Amino acid sequence: MLSTARLTPEAFASARAFLLERGRPLEAARFRHAFEGGSAADVLDALSVYRNPDGGFGRALEPDVRAPGSSVLATGTALEVLHDLDVPDSDELLDGAATWLRENLHVTLGGSVWPFLPPEVQAQPHAPWWSQVEPEAFAAAFGQFRVNPRAGIVARLHRWPELLPEGLLAQLTLETRDAILAGLEPGDVNGHAVAALFAQTPEVPEHHRQPVLEYLGDVLPERVASTPEALAGYGLDPLHAAPTPASPLAHALEEPLAAALGHLLTSQRGDGSWGPTWDWGGTFPDVWPEAEAEWRSVRTWEALRALRDWGRVKQR
């Protein structure tokens, strides 16, 4: 049974102050929009800083990759922001991102996929798991990109189907569904998260979503982090699989969700922030502090949104 413990007004104020005073402008704008009636235009302005002339996004929007050039990793992150804002299909940032994604779709024997990063990213500071010293091993480590990042991008593009050529979105959706149902490796943290997004996005046709939902309902209870030790490390956070009480997967994950919410309430730092549960293992030591600070901005925004969505923020 889910606890009713909530973030205190003082803890909320501390997190708010951290975001607005020390966070990135993007997370600060997202917070103001979500909690204080702030302008969506301010969020878009902050997001546009990461946009490149080719329409794609880069510039360390995803803090673990510092390359300025456009990547699927960063453009997919931008698509998440645009989806959250429910921008119209006429939005300039959305149109540019969709065009860039169409142009950078790779057709392979296993279907059409988006490789996370272009080769030139290797020359810029990045987390060790994004290393492309051995390109074939890199692609293999991410399952040839058949689920991650494809499932997340496809799920969100269903909000604006007219942005892809006729028939392409249907093809991508079918290929994504089949790739998930072929089975996910138990340790594929982000693969499960984007599969859950695919299965719970209402715009994705039900006959594609439902079998994925059933599959995840079977495997996720044993694969999500559910202990304080697991939640403090790098693993599949049940809140990423069921971000709100209305999530179809929430019932199957009731006990892990209770543990995850409890962990959020007890893991806030003294400065009001939440931090990443990973580091770069000593690579690019001069750059990691900057990336870590940006992750604290991202993680604090995500923590506050999750606690709010689960009714865990106490109002004065």
Is 132 within a domain?
Answer: yes
> What is the pLDDT at residue 108?
86
Say what the pTM is.
Answer: 0.97
Q: Which DSSP category does 106 fall into?
A: E
User: Does the bond joining 248 to the residue before it have cis omega, within 30 degrees of 0?
Assistant: no
CATH number at residue 47: 1.50.10
Instruction: Tell me if residue 7 falls in helix, strand or coil.
Output: strand
Neighbours of 281 (CB within 10 A): 11
pLDDT value of position 11 = 98
25 in a structural domain: yes
Is residue 4 in a domain? no
Which residues of the chain carry a pLDDT beneath 70? 1-3
| Closest-CA residue to 239 (of 189, 177, 314) | 189
Q: DSSP states of 174-192 as a string?
A: HHHHHHHHT---TT-HHHH
Provide the residue range defining the domain that includes 240.
9-309
Q: How far apart are CA 293 and CA 100, in angstroms?
A: 29
2 lies in a domain? Answer: no
Q: Please indicate, yes or no, if residue 90 is contained in any of the structural domains.
A: yes
Looking at residue 153, what is its pLDDT?
98
User: Residue 26 domain-assigned?
Assistant: yes
User: What integer pLDDT is reported at residue 1 of this predicted model?
Assistant: 47
Distance between CA atoms of 173 and 164, rounded to whole angstroms? 12
pLDDT of residue 109: 83
pLDDT digits (tens, 9 = 90+) for 168-204: 999 999 999 999 999 999 999 999 999 999 999 999 9
**Residues in contact with 175: Cβ distance below 8 Å, sequence separation at least 6, in sequence order:** 110, 111, 112, 146, 150
Q: Does any domain span residue 3?
A: no
Instruction: Establish if 197 belongs to a structural domain.
Output: yes
Number of domains in the chain: 1
